[in-house]
Structure 1
């Protein structure tokens, strides 16, 4: 039976959602009881014992270097790291990484969890101030990095009194500092056996920081029970088939999406593919041609760029059977492009650092409505609620997307910020809800539809306009690579919709083209939603995760002289 013909893991959404229990997942996975649970054991060591030669990680470096890491290899390497780390930290201490997608990064993650320490990571796109803030906020004790990143870490450490040790992986791009531990030298002298600390599902495991685009970043704490939730997502939404798939999740361990897909895949014993370098359409096309990658998980920006440069996919022999996206809603046009060019439907998923996982998804067995977020993960109760009263709204009514339940991925709280944690919850008539800060609505079929962040909605002439619909319509114009819309003050209407548009390469930005784009959006949507003003730009400002920084665009719109 081919991949395309085989039945999805979630064959009947309604039946599974109505009957799902978390104890059922534990039984199916034959894993330890939640009262004695360690993520490292569940994702690596039990597979190293049962199927030691199975591939855990297929690595391709920026220079084309290849390395295949088995579960036995990963267990032994992480044991060595744990033995080194065990002399440096106590249970519950924070260990952070700042490094690329290299095999040592994954071994450090698993090894840290084996010691009972708490793992966190900072994406390489952050500079010294971003590193310093996060490590200082949680009193991190150890940092794992590369020689190429060592100068940046050193600059950050001038502001951090808590860090006692830096462990450095030599990548031939920089130099270690006095007092650093050389990763490979230290591990060469360490034993390859280690007794994993007996943690419970309620012990601290992961500390990841929000991106902090609307205020200081907050540390989001997750427990070892977190792994049960990501296992469910990888089973139902990612639809992993152990023994069949090679799974390329393009996310970095510097964001929680990285551990979600890495550890979720390993929970089921599925090999993970990773590429060290940043996104490049031609390089990605070659990787998809050279390796039997069956499941691809990436972000809308990457899919949009592949679509813009789809000629690189000409002649590529794809093994894909499933593709997913997270970060921002996918437009219908990108979904259609995926079906025509990649041969698969790109399934949108939705989650936050606080929810620890993707909690609303489109599933392979379910009818897909392009542009929709999908439906809740089995085991998660989701609704659109009034953020003031917690009352569940009727289908079609706009409110705040909210979740609740005994879902093991829900965060344990913001690091040492109980007031901020409490602000995320509202007591409703039928119980408490976690408020996402995202606006949306549910349709008559139970599908969720994203309308934007609460502070992104545009009110013009009394109409509420969500940016996503307008931006999706912009993106379907043949001359538009991507666009973003924000409110612009207007004496008559209060505000109007202003669009910042990046054109397809080689397109001339003329006044006639602006009018044509306006007309296109007006025809796609409604007369009150089209952008009354368009500005062509070379690039759109984005967060380090690739999301459009509408806050910056709003500031620029209100003050045209602002940088």
Structure 2
């Protein structure tokens, strides 16, 4: 079925036989065929007379649902009337977490576009790959981050327009919005129309494009929140994940707005600012990574967090000690969970009634999971194997049938994580099944880091692995063979690290660099990273 005037994204969906099996099985998961998810997340609050309720707060400003609704409508007019957007065009958003980011997100969907949300740390090279892969035609960019965006050169990118995410000034987008109508007729998308494309780093170094329908956006709001959070309109959400992560998009935008609650956005969510927000703005639900929970525990005694009732952790495995230390300090139980960009959000987790310390949890409402061996066969309880999941959402890689066949096997999403399931049905994380490095909640492709390092004038060869670390979970560790081995020194290490931060997203830089004479290889020349990992662990 053709959904848009620009059908690039739909035309590059995997064929139906390569899709994971999706099921609902409950009336909560049934949505009409004619569906634009913005109407359920935003517009209905205006129609229901709740426009004056607070939707978004920051340390500097406050937006009601009406404010957000009207700004999103004005931006949608700019997109269609000034920037030539046609339904189905992909629109990149580049910004830190702030109200204008959210308004742009809703505006793109209102106009019939497909959102490609990004993180502010990405550089020209990474942005260019996204633009080229998704054939992105438009970009909305916070003017404070425009340098890297403007450096992107691609025949696909027709329009780049800046906005002021700080709310303290006016940029090009605000100028164009000024005389636009505050109402807009949403484009008539279908439940199976694509709404977002999320890029995920893979072990090949080239990011994969995951895609999700308008109904998927609403389906996850009926899953994890109802299972673990029990949100009410009085809740105030906050957290540290960027809205470019689906973990952040769900926890800081979709879930609060679906339930008529509010969100508190922090552009640079340092632990002290998170705690300050919880204390001063009576936050009730907080999303962040295990690394942050560890740091918050060390500082929480200086703040009043009595309003906080739900604590959510994802992005990497939650160490038992972090859980225990936080509980001892606050009396609050951290809700662990695992999700993926491919499946959109958390699919295994717990709630306060069924929580088992150390376990990731049980499949939440809307999903089922199992453990399989290398051949796809079910294994006995207690046996380690690959995690397979299916349910209300599933993997839909764009333009990548080979990767789709790897991720979706026999109708199940095979995540690449190694788990075991106990006799009571609880799932326990064991390890990553690939060379992905998860550091402070960020997914970092070892191959991608290597590809950047190899462009440095000093580097002849390199291999990157994850180094276990108590504070970050893992560190990026690079084994480097220098062109001139006599140059190996601490000064060169710092120079390479500083150079990397300019060449790629800083969070990906190798925090450990080890100089070696040769890298271990097979007879065919393939680097044996497992030998380097064993060296690290030894």
**Do 1:281 and 1:312's aligned partners in 2 also have CA atoms closer than 8 Å?**
no
Displacement after TM superposition at 1:237 (Å): 3.9
Per-residue deviation, 1:170:
3.4
Q: 1:183 maps to what in 2?
A: 173
Note the C-alpha offset of 1:315.
Answer: 4.4
CA distance in 2, matches of 1:335, 1:104: 34
* Structure 1 equivalent of residue 19 of structure 2: none
Find the counterpart in structure 2 of residue 38 from structure 1: 36
Indicate conservation of the 8 Å contact 1:40/1:110, yes or no: yes
Contact conserved, 1:147 with 1:174, CA < 8 A, in 2?
Answer: no
State whether structure 2 residue 366 is matched by structure 1 residue 379. Answer: yes
Q: TM-score, normalised by structure 1?
A: 0.72
Per the normalisation by structure 2, the TM-score is: 0.75
Q: Identify which of 48, 65, 88 aligns with 2:46.
A: 48
Deviation of 1:501 (Å):
4.7
The CA RMSD measured in Å over matched residues stands at 3.5
**Larger relative contact order (Cα-Cα within 8 Å, sequence gap ≥ 6):** 2
Q: Distance in 1 between matches of 2:364 and 2:512?
A: 31
What residue ranges of structure 2 are gaps of 5+ in the alignment? Answer: 1-22, 440-464, 473-492, 515-528
CA deviation string 1:177-206 (max 9, x = no partner) = xxxx81110111211110111111100100
Alignment of 1:70-81 (within 5 A): 70-81=64-75
Q: Does 1:354 align with 2:342?
A: yes
Q: CA deviation at 1:326?
A: 0.5
| Distance in 2 of aligned mates of 1:256 and 1:91 | 23
After superposition, the Cα gap between the structure-2 partners of 1:135 and 1:36, relative to the gap in structure 1 and judged at 3 Å, is same
Residue in structure 2 matched with residue 126 of structure 1 by the alignment: 122
Deviation of 1:500 after TM superposition, in Å, equals: 5.1
1:321 and 1:285 map into 2 onto residues whose CA distance is 14
| Corresponding residue number in structure 1 for 2:357 | 370
Residue 275 of structure 1: SS of its match in structure 2?
coil
- Taking the aligned partners of 2:427 and 2:238, their CA distance within structure 1 comes to 27
The answer to whether the Cα contact below 8 Å between 1:382 and 1:402 also exists between their aligned partners in 2 is: yes
The answer as to whether partners of 1:231 and 1:264 remain within 8 angstroms in 2 is yes
Note if contact 1:150-1:174 (Cα within 8 Å) is conserved in structure 2: no
Out of 394, 414, 417, the position equivalent to 1:410 is 394
Aligned-partner SS, 1:423 = helix
Cα deviation per residue 1:498-527 (whole Å; 9 max; x = unaligned)? 9655689xxxxxxxxxxxxxxxxxxxxxxx
In structure 2, the residue matched to 1:527 is none
- The residue number in structure 1 matching 2:413 is 434
8 Å CA contact retained: 1:362, 1:375 = yes
Shift of 1:410: 1.7
1:174 Cα deviation (Å)? 13
1:140 CA displacement: 0.5
Structure 1 gap ranges (5+): 1-19, 28-32, 458-466, 472-496, 505-536
> In the alignment, is the contact (CA less than 8 A) between 2:79 and 2:111 conserved in 1?
yes
Residue 256 of structure 2 is aligned to residue 273 of structure 1: no
Q: 1:398 and 1:26, CA in 2 relative to 1: closer, same or farther beyond 3 A?
A: closer
Name the CA shift for 1:545/1:116 in 2 (closer, same or farther; >3 Å). farther
Q: Distance in 2 between matches of 1:560 and 1:218?
A: 30
Partner of 1:463: none
Contact 1:249 1:272 (8 Å CA) reproduced = no
Partner of 1:223: 213
CA contact (8 A) 1:359 1:376 kept: yes
Q: How far does the alpha carbon of each residue in 1:224-246 deviate from its partner, in whole angstroms, 9 at most, with x for none?
A: 11123221234324414323211
For residue 401 of structure 1, the aligned residue among 364, 379, 387 is 387
Give the direction of change, closer, same or farther, for the CA distance of 1:239–1:125 in structure 2 (3 Å limit).
same
Partner of 1:423: 406
| Separation in structure 2 between the aligned mates of residue 102 and residue 503 of structure 1, nearest angstrom | 28
Distance in 2 between the 1:75 and 1:173 partners?
16
Change beyond 3 A, Cα 1:316–1:441: same
Alpha-carbon distance in structure 2 between the residues aligned to 1:143 and 1:215: 24
SS of aligned partner of 1:116 = coil
Partner of 2:76: 82
Distance 1:303 1:211 in 2: 24
List, as ranges, runs of 4+ consecutive aligned residues in structure 1 with deviation greater than 6 Å. Answer: 172-176, 541-553, 558-561
Q: SS of the counterpart of 1:336?
A: helix
